[in-house]
Amino acid sequence: MNKIDDLCNDTRCCRKKSELIKKYFQKWSGQHKSNESSIQFVECIITFVGTFIALGIISVVHYRILAEHDLTFLLGSFGASCVLLFATPSSPLAQPRNAVFGQLIGATVGCIVRIIFDYIQEQFIAATLSVAISILIMQLTNTLHAPGGATALTMIMTKTTYPWYGFQYILMPTLSGTTILIIVALIINNLSSKRHYPVTWW
């Protein structure tokens, strides 16, 4: 009798595992929802203009003013921020609070992790850890901003003369550049009757 019970239990256990595995891989197929959305040409133009002006200002400062002083004002993650701020301005990830704190968290964590691992000489761990920690903190503080993860990785890859010099990137270009993006987003996005930016400040 015990053997029969054990066999039944094993069978039920196998079925349950099989169902869990099946459900897991079913998620890979998507929810079969349509991804089509009608975007008006005018909205695309506003996105283009906003991105062009915002990154134009930052690029002029970077290449025409600061480059000769060996300073930077341009981060790759600003391009990703423009996608959120100008193409999806109503997204929670595009709101000023998320943009500012998400970028600051990424820059700060990246700088701290870089200094720690400068002494350990294991940069591959520093790269993965900086992004993972940044995302964790952003989630816990409800300040998710995808480009912040890219900023954290940029801080790891940035080479400075002295380890502590990298912390200047938290204020410039991270905070100052993000501020410019938000100001331009405020001006340009609200030119459209279909846009309202920000949805919330806090």
**pLDDT tens, residue by residue, 175-202:** 999 999 999 999 999 998 889 999 999 8
State the pLDDT at residue 1. Answer: 57
Does residue 162 carry a pLDDT above 60?
A: no
As a whole number, mean pLDDT of residues 20-27 equals 83
State the pLDDT at residue 70. Answer: 76
State the pLDDT at residue 124. Answer: 87
- Pick from 176, 172, 181, 166: which is nearest to 110 by CA? 166
Q: Rounded distance, CA 132 to CA 136, Å?
A: 6
Q: Rounded distance, CA 123 to CA 176, Å?
A: 27
| Identity of the highest mean pLDDT range in 1-5, 133-137, 165-169 | 133-137
- Please give the share of the chain, as a percent, with pLDDT higher than 70: 88
Does residue 117 carry a pLDDT above 80?
A: yes
Q: Rounded distance, CA 19 to CA 36, Å?
A: 32
* CB-CB contact of 158 with 106 (8 Å): no
State the pLDDT at residue 27. Answer: 77
Q: What DSSP line would sit under 29-48, residue for residue?
A: G-----------HHHHHHHH
- Pick from 143, 190, 173: which is nearest to 76 by CA? 173
Q: Which range among 75-79, 95-99, 121-125, 130-134 shows the weakest confidence by mean pLDDT?
A: 121-125
State the pLDDT at residue 5. Answer: 59
- Pick from 83, 100, 176, 178: which is nearest to 141 by CA? 100
State the pLDDT at residue 57. Answer: 97
DSSP-based three-state secondary structure for 120:
coil
